């Protein structure tokens, strides 16, 4: 009886592999196996600096962290106060500008979430939205 459970479970688990692999191939360009953000949607501090005034810096960290320090000229935009903060961002944004979103460090997820929301929910959808590699920590390391 016990072996019947195990044998059937193994067969089902093996059968599920085939469509899973198929889907992984189908979605190969939409997700990275190495990092939560696609390499094409990330930007280094150096690259972002090179964009100069054509880039808008968005701070996705909580309000208190933004208040204590932030990239000069950055706009605060986080998930907690999206509706209150978004108007300020939208007045600064124009289609030809690139948006650089950052949070505290490489491991944080806030920047990705804000970038994703900007890409998906805004009208028209923003294409040039990038997440800063290494986040605020990387910016501090490079500039101070």
Partner 1 sequence: MKKTSNIESLDNAASFGVGRWAFDVRHFLWRIVDFILAGVFIYAGVLKALDPVQLAHDIDHYKILPWTIGVGLAFYLPWLEILCGLALIFRRFYRGALSILTALVVIFLVATIAAKVRGLDITCGCFGHASQNWSFPAHLALDLAILAALVVLCWCSVAQSACECLTSAPVVRRVSKTA
Minimum Å gap between C-beta 62 and partner 1 is 12
Interaction site with partner 1 (CB under 8 A): 1, 4-13, 15-17, 19-21, 23-24, 27, 30-31, 33-36, 109, 112
Minimum Å gap between C-beta 43 and partner 1 is 19
Q: Closest CB to partner 1 among 7 and 142?
A: 7
Count of CB atoms within 10 A of residue 55's CB? 19
Q: 121, 65, 130: which is closest to 97 by C-alpha?
A: 130
- CB contact set of 77 (below 8 Å; sequence gap of 6+): 58, 59, 60, 85, 86, 88, 89, 101, 114
Q: Closest CB to partner 1 among 71 and 111?
A: 111
CA separation for the pair 111, 18 (Å, rounded): 34
Q: Closest CB to partner 1 among 10 and 140?
A: 10
Minimum Å gap between C-beta 137 and partner 1 is 18
């Amino acid at each position: 009886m016990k072996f019947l459970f195990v044998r059937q479970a193994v067969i089902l688990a093996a059968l599920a592999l085939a469509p899973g692999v198929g889907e992984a191939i189908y979605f190969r360009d939409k997700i990275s196996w190495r990092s939560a953000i696609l390499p094409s949607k990330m930007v280094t501090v150096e690259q972002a600096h090179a964009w100069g005034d054509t880039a808008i810096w968005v701070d996705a960290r909580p309000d208190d962290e933004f208040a204590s320090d932030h990239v000069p000229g950055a706009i605060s935009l986080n998930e907690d106060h999206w509706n209150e903060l978004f108007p300020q961002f939208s007045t600064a944004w124009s289609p030809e500008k690139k948006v650089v979103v950052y949070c505290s460090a490489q491991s944080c997820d806030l920047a990705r979430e804000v970038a994703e929301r900007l890409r998906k929910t805004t009208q028209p959808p923003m294409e040039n939205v990038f997440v800063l590699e290494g986040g605020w920590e990387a910016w501090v390391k490079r500039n101070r």
